[in-house]
Amino acid sequence: MTTSRNDLDAWWMPFTANRDPRMIASAEGMHYRTPDGRQLLDGISGLWCCNAGHNRAPIVAAIQHQAAQLDYAPPFQFGHEGAFALASRIAALAPGDLDHVFFCNSGSEAIDTALKIALAYRHARGEGGRTRLIGRERAYHGTGFGGISVGGLPANRKAFGHGLSGIDHLPHTYDREHQAFSIGEPEWGAHLADELERIVALNDASTICAVIVEPMAGSTGVLAPPKGYLQRLRAICDRHGILLIFDEVITGFGRLGFAFAAERFGVTPDMICFAKGVTNGTVPLGGVIVGEEIHTALMQGPERAIELFHGYTYSGHPLACAAGLAALDLYRDAGLFARARAVEPVFAQAVMSLREEPNVLDIRVVGLAAAIELASRTDMAGTRGYDAMVQAFNENDLVIRISGDTLTLCPALIVSEDEIGELIEKTRAVLRAVA
Ligand code: PMP
């Protein structure tokens, strides 16, 4: 059977709206190359994951070496050095006593894993009534049943039944009237964390297990936490013995200039979910970093009566761990997190220079992440507006993400000032062309 570019029946691509993919053949640094030789500037680090740019030689070499050495090790029976080494390295980067790493293969699995660890922790402590999980509107936590249940995206929930039971949602933290064109944490909105008190009052803390939030909501439009919001959430969780979980699938490994957003915002959660950047996007790997108390509760049960009955065939896969170790070495040796901090003001100014362009309603920037929100699709002539925009970005050889009415830019942490300029001027050209 021959496959062609348009043979989408054979590969049922994720999110079936993707019916006309542009083909790419290779990648290096900040660029992709198409089969016909065009070079595309990658403005979104793969998909928020290739934080050090594409096809970095030390990571490629580490994967090749590992594949020739030990292709697979069954994690229910055997350990191997790479998994222990990577877990230690990740624990060392994480704040507080988050010292134990459970490996899985993706962000979605990391969310399911964290929710299950939270529930198992309650069970182990004889608090089996504390099963309620609290997410947030406009949250994206992947596509597992756990993730879509605590997530806050109607489109990702509506066709899939009721999801998990006993779920509540905090309100999202975005309000254009008070926050438009904000750089970093908006001044307005810390009080929205108090909604957790309302949920506690309604249901009683004795029914509540955990709260999960993205410290910065990424794929739903770069929503930085309002100043003081995460601190307030932490305080309310502490007051009522509720676990706080950060989904750092996007923010982990440098996107906001630190290993984790927890460090940038000065709030330590009880668990951190990660994926994407841990291997620079090369080999699928995710995980959950867990604090001492939770780990102890699940590991020190009498005569091993308490265990975590959870895991994956590919937990701690040797190739993924080799890629992870090489990626962390690269981030450290190139000082990429500090570099992201240094470039952030340049990036922010450049993106904000688009505020007077046609259809721009709002721009939000934090770290090396930016969202440009446009007047609604109805104003952009509905689907035609979307298609025209996709085409215009293609013609400009620029890869960015268009979700609904929002354009997202999140370049690799190696992006040069010239490349930031190119990214912005091409985006400006597109906004003008589509207007
Ligand atoms: N959480 C967040 C915050 C994400 O942005 C994503 C993916 N973009 C996920 C979870 C799910 O990750 P994956 O696609 O690897 O399952």
- 172 CA distance to ligand 1 centroid (A)? 18
Strands (E), 26-65: 26-28, 31-33, 39-42
Phi, psi (deg, nearest 5) at residue 49 = -130, -30
- 305 CA distance to ligand 1 centroid (A)? 33
- 49 CA distance to ligand 1 centroid (A)? 10
Q: What pLDDT score does 379 carry?
A: 47
Task: Lowest mean pLDDT of 52-56, 287-291, 302-306, name the range.
Answer: 302-306
Dump pLDDT digits (tens) for 220-252.
999 999 999 999 999 999 999 999 999 999 999
Considering only CA atoms, which residue is closest to atom 5 of ligand 1? Answer: 250
CB count, 10 Å around CB of 340? 24
Query: What integer is the mean pLDDT of 86-115?
Result: 98
Q: What pLDDT score does 1 carry?
A: 46
- 145 CA distance to ligand 1 centroid (A)? 13
- Assess whether the C-beta atom of 408 lies below 6 angstroms from ligand 1: no
At the topology level of CATH, where does 61-333 sit?
A: Aspartate Aminotransferase; domain 2 (3.40.640)
Q: What pLDDT score does 404 carry?
A: 82
Query: What integer is the mean pLDDT of 356-373?
Result: 97
ipTM above 0.95, yes or no: yes
Which of 243, 53, 79 minimizes the C-alpha distance to 87?
Answer: 79
- 112 CA distance to ligand 1 centroid (A)? 11
- 418 CA distance to ligand 1 centroid (A)? 30
Q: Which atom of ligand 1 is nearest to the CA of 48?
A: 8
User: First and final CA of the chain: distance in angstroms?
Assistant: 43
Instruction: Give all strands of the β-sheet with 401-403 in edge-to-edge order.
Output: 360-366, 369-374, 406-409, 401-403
Residue 276 per-residue DSSP state: G
CB proximity list for 343: less than 8 A, separation 6 or greater: 368, 413, 415, 417, 420
Phi, psi (deg, nearest 5) at residue 121 = -65, -45
Q: What percent of the chain has pLDDT over 70?
A: 94
Confidence band for 306, pLDDT divided at 50, 70 and 90: low
Confidence band for 20, pLDDT divided at 50, 70 and 90: confident
The rounded mean pLDDT for the chain is 94
CB count, 10 Å around CB of 386? 17
Q: Where are the domains of the chain?
A: 26-56+335-434, 61-333
Q: What pLDDT score does 49 carry?
A: 98
Q: What is the pTM of this model?
A: 0.97
- Assess whether the C-beta atom of 112 lies below 6 angstroms from ligand 1: no
H/E run at residue 2 = none
Probe target for ligand 1 pocket from 249, 251, 255, 272, with the most ligand atoms within 8 Å of CB:
249
- Assess whether the C-beta atom of 352 lies below 6 angstroms from ligand 1: no
Task: Point out which residues pair with 423 in neighbouring strands.
Answer: none
Contact of 112 with 146, CB cutoff 8 Å: yes
Q: What pLDDT score does 174 carry?
A: 97
Task: Lowest mean pLDDT of 31-35, 122-126, 225-229, name the range.
Answer: 122-126
Query: What integer is the mean pLDDT of 31-42?
Result: 97
Contact of 137 with 152, CB cutoff 8 Å: yes
- Assess whether the C-beta atom of 213 lies below 6 angstroms from ligand 1: no
CA distance 9 to 172: 37
Query: What integer is the mean pLDDT of 81-107?
Result: 98
Confidence band for 9, pLDDT divided at 50, 70 and 90: confident
Probe target for ligand 1 pocket from 108, 251, 288, with the most ligand atoms within 8 Å of CB:
108
Confidence band for 7, pLDDT divided at 50, 70 and 90: low
Q: Which atom of ligand 1 is nearest to the CA of 142?
A: 11
From the number of C-beta atoms within 10 Å of its C-beta (0-12, 13-18, 19+), residue 271 rates as: buried
Q: What pLDDT score does 67 carry?
A: 98
The C-alpha R_g of the chain, in whole angstroms, comes to: 22
C-alpha count within 13 angstroms, C-beta hemisphere, residue 63: 15
Task: Point out which residues pair with 101 in neighbouring strands.
Answer: 289
CATH of 26-56+335-434, one of 3.40.50.720, 3.90.1150.10, 3.10.20.30, 1.10.760.10: 3.90.1150.10
